[in-house]
Amino acid sequence: MHTILKFLFSLCIGAVLMPSTSCSQGSASAAADANTVRTDSAIVIDNILNRRSIRAYTDQPVERQKLEVIARCGINAPSGMNSQPWQVCIVDSPAYIDSLTAIFKKLQPERAEQPGFKNMFRNAPALIFVASPSNGSGQVDCGLMGENMVLAAEAMGLGTCIQGGPLAFMKNTKECAPYIQQLQIPEDYELLYIIGVGYPDETPDAKPRDESKVKFID
């Protein structure tokens, strides 16, 4: 087993074996509380390791309540000095997505002819637009918030795909300008990425990860 995998494996085992440090609450026994904490730790790690970008979705719309939970998890990400340098705009309107897709189809018909194509946002029925200050600050913070949202979605059985390409298409296509306008992003912010969200209709394998990118220095 590679070093990183060993590390992750030991983390998982550690999560399962580690005694609970939380205070017991209510009438539940301390042992029951400890069990809950152990299980939750393993679930969090599984959630991170099992997440994959999803580009095929069922037709089931995403409940607003779930989108709200995702957004709340996003804005609870850490940010430098709690500056919260983000703007988040959630769109689940089929009309919005279909109108942009019509523009996309006109300009890139070969992409729209690909099997399984439903819309230009990697087929997702709901979109989360994230913007950061136009002066370039806040991008780390916005990245952290994105991962929070993606993992929250995963935990609720939803699939996601972070998207730079479709946003670039929107920014570079003049017919898309009114749709960007509709998002009401403040003037001093610029759109950074989109997260497509929906109920997954595929279970892609993990793409390879380069473990040599991580080093421990003794």
Ligand X SMILES: Cc1cc2nc3c(=O)[nH]c(=O)nc-3n(C[C@H](O)[C@H](O)[C@H](O)COP(=O)(O)O)c2cc1C
Binding site for ligand X (CB under 6 A): 52-53, 55, 122, 161-165, 193, 207
Nearer to ligand X, 2 or 64 (CB): 2
Minimal distance, residue 204 CB to ligand X, in Å:
6
Nearer to ligand X, 61 or 165 (CB): 165
Q: What contacts 168, CB < 8 A, 6 or more positions away?
A: none
Q: Rounded to an integer, what distance in angstroms lies between the CA atom of residue 149 and that of residue 83?
A: 18
Give the CB-nearest residue to ligand X: 165
Nearer to ligand X, 32 or 49 (CB): 49
Minimal distance, residue 56 CB to ligand X, in Å:
11
Minimal distance, residue 168 CB to ligand X, in Å:
8
Q: What contacts 2, CB < 8 A, 6 or more positions away?
A: 211
Q: Rounded to an integer, what distance in angstroms lies between the CA atom of residue 110 and that of residue 9?
A: 44
CA angle 128, 133, 136 (to 5 degrees): 110
Minimal distance, residue 38 CB to ligand X, in Å:
27
Minimal distance, residue 19 CB to ligand X, in Å:
33
Amino acid at the residue 168: A
Q: In what order do the strands lie in the sheet containing 87-91? A: 87-91, 126-133, 189-198, 159-163
Structural tokens at position 68: 């709200």
Minimal distance, residue 53 CB to ligand X, in Å:
3
C-alpha distances out from residue 41 to 15, 35, 44, 47, 70, Å:
5, 10, 5, 10, 20
Nearer to ligand X, 102 or 168 (CB): 168
Q: Rounded to an integer, what distance in angstroms lies between the CA atom of residue 95 and that of residue 157?
A: 25
Structural tokens at position 148: 């929070």
Nearer to ligand X, 33 or 190 (CB): 190
Nearer to ligand X, 64 or 209 (CB): 209
Minimal distance, residue 128 CB to ligand X, in Å:
13
Nearer to ligand X, 167 or 185 (CB): 167
Dihedral over Cα of 142, 173, 125, 164: its sign = negative
